[in-house]
Chains A and B, each alone.
Chain A
């Protein structure tokens, strides 16, 4: 108890709007460490795989060894299989990490996660509809279905939350999101109970995997995600102001309802991209911001960047592990994510100096 209270006192000592706090420099170090880790993990991800191509072969290929470059099998393994997966993992991680961080700050709810806007259940419903009624089978068609469903569901949630006099209230968004999410989830279950063949495909899609991702699928999503990320960074300062309460934010010249709306749009685009690439991965959007908040305290920009980096790192680790734990088969990445992330979240939540971080979001 006493350590928790001490932590709370220490944190309130530095204002969330104070850019030069005593913790500034170590945070930069942590950020740099995470970036280095990202590149190192990406390299590992290019070297390790399920197939017969060895890590040394892949290394020779990457360093430009002419013999390795001439080997078509190596080229296939590294450039056509592992590279897209690595990029996809990083993209999904960055998207989910940033989206989760923004959503938790905007709803002031540390239990909020990216699925809350109905993104995941909307995408799942659209995929199930596509599979059942429109004979969608190719991966890019499923990706399109998922993206459309995600955007449609989150638009409905946003419209509902932004209507009426209580527009943009955090509680309204949280309840609208979980209510509609439940509805889409129920509709999905309804369709699935009727069609066994859809269920068989759905149960593999829903546990999420990066196997079979193609670079061509990622290209249209990358600029969208980049734009959303830039907007997210722009939202950091208004969001910090919102953490002081709506009235204080207003007196600082911000418009709470407008800020929340922009944030919600950004969140739905980011998590829509992620769900389109990797299926509904719910947990990372909760874990990464939680971890970031324990490192950064209340400073929003740092939180956002750290959250994105942490999520990208975790995602690549999970994807690499997914390829190796039960070789030669693949494990779904979301399962690995849960197996790695579950204990990690428990560890973070238990560490005494961090335990109030969740409640103070």
Chain B
């Protein structure tokens, strides 16, 4: 039914007997039941605390990311620039150049985090990232095609990426014939389709000259260079739609630990929930890839970290969004200061994200 062992953390850990609940309810130990007449809501205390702690962290990341540059800017200059009280030059640099890019990065990170959270929960498998749905390969294929088709060998407009990503994901779902049990069939078919699309791009690339190949490689590593409000604001609007929907879907996905019949007994059609979660994951990953390129590892690491923070029984949608945003914001800032040449954000996320994930996972040294 499930892949045992890959998802011990999602097993229910609430023991009503071991935890004498205050009002005789069966709320998990880290939650409070809020009631208003016939409505009730399980308020995740630990998750909310984590979110409350992550938000100021993100503000710090924003400040540092705006500050980080080769030209150098003091903390007070940065803050006054952000608040609009500094000298006009600083305000312009901060508000028109640095902030939009940082903002776009945060949005991309949030989208990747939520998307990864949905796919990992769907499959009960930490390796199930949205890249397996063909989003990255589809976006890359379209970008390769645009570079190969243009006379200059330049990579085309940013919106080509999400278009290709979503097209590939639609192809995956069509080939899989629906979301299937536990979302596994979609993932396996996704691997097949993305490998196939990737091979076609490789084939096209091997016929290109080295400068085109280099340009596409730079894109395919994931970079936020030159992203402005024109990209960030549409992304924000999309997230304002997609994240609340993902929250709802994530809440329902908690029922995945039961089989379909029992879930139906609880009033949830899991097949529809799976399909909805899949669509949301694809849409989120698609726009993220379009703006930032296929930035590696955030979609895998952010939900794993968020789950670590917010407790085992949750589907950490908000936590994943905040963790993803913080990861990309920090990585982009680091990429601009550590080396003489600017490092693409994708390089930093994978070089530093790996050890960071390991440190977080292994520090507490519990069975994960």
Contact = CB atoms under 8 A, between A and B. Distances in A.
A178 interface: yes
Contacts of A194: 341
A60 B9 CA distance: 63
A200 B202 CA distance: 14
Interface in A266-299: 283, 286-287, 290
B366 interface: yes
A359 B346 CA distance: 31
A154 interface: no
Interface stretch (B68-76, B126-134, B243-251, B281-289): B126-134
B165 to A, nearest CB: 17
Contacts of B312: none
Nearest to A180: B354
Interface residues of B, number: 69
B90 to A, nearest CB: 31
A254 interface: no
B367 interface: yes
A245 interface: yes
Interface in B332-350: 341, 343-344, 346-350
Contact of A341 (B176, B192, B218): B192
Most-contacted residue by chain A among B2, B203, B365, B366 (CB, 10 A)? B203
Interface stretch (B43-51, B102-110, B180-188, B225-233): B180-188
Contacts of A69: none
A276 B316 CA distance: 41
A290 B184 CA distance: 12
A51 B185 CA distance: 42
Interface residues of A, number: 70
Given A111-B132, A349-B189, A171 B351 contact: no
Contacts of B362: 160, 163-164, 172
A182 B126 CA distance: 14
Contacts of B177: 350
A361 interface: yes
B365 A164 contact: yes
B86 interface: no
Given A108-B3, A290-B188, A342-B199, 4 more contacts: A166-B365, A186-B297, A186-B346, A346-B193
A203 interface: yes
Contacts of B355: 179, 183
9 contacts: A165-B367, A180-B354, A186-B353, A199-B210, A199-B217, A204-B206, A338-B202, A343-B192, A343-B196
A171 B175 contact: no
For the complex of A and B, list the 10 residue pairs with the smallest distance between their C-beta atoms, beginning with the closest: A342-B196, A186-B350, A338-B199, A183-B354, A345-B192, A186-B351, A179-B354, A182-B350, A108-B5, A166-B367
A144 interface: no
Interface in B1-51: 1-6, 8
B94 interface: no
The majority secondary structure among interface residues of chain B is helix
Contacts of A203: 205-206, 213, 217
A358 interface: yes
Contacts of A338: 195-196, 198-199, 202
Interface of B: 1-6, 8, 123, 125-128, 132, 175-177, 180-182, 184-185, 187-189, 191-193, 195-196, 198-200, 202-203, 205-206, 210, 213-214, 217-218, 221, 260, 296-297, 300-301, 304, 341, 343-344, 346-355, 357-358, 361-362, 365-368
A358 B300 contact: no
Given A169-B367, A185-B296, A194-B341, A200 B189 contact: no
Interface in A148-187: 160, 163-166, 169-172, 174-176, 178-183, 185-187
Interface string A182-210: 11011101101110100110011001000
A183 B368 contact: no
Nearest to B359: A179
Contacts of A190: 343, 347, 351
Nearest to A116: B127
B126 A174 contact: yes
A293 B41 CA distance: 43
A187 B2 CA distance: 35
Nearest to A356: B181
A334 B196 CA distance: 10
B126 to A, nearest CB: 6
Contacts of B351: 183, 186-187, 190
Given A175-B304, A183-B355, A108 B6 contact: yes
A109 interface: yes
Interface in A105-136: 107-112, 116
Contacts of A169: 5, 367-368
A331 B203 contact: yes
A344 B191 CA distance: 11
A279 to B, nearest CB: 12
A172 B364 CA distance: 13
Contacts of B218: 193
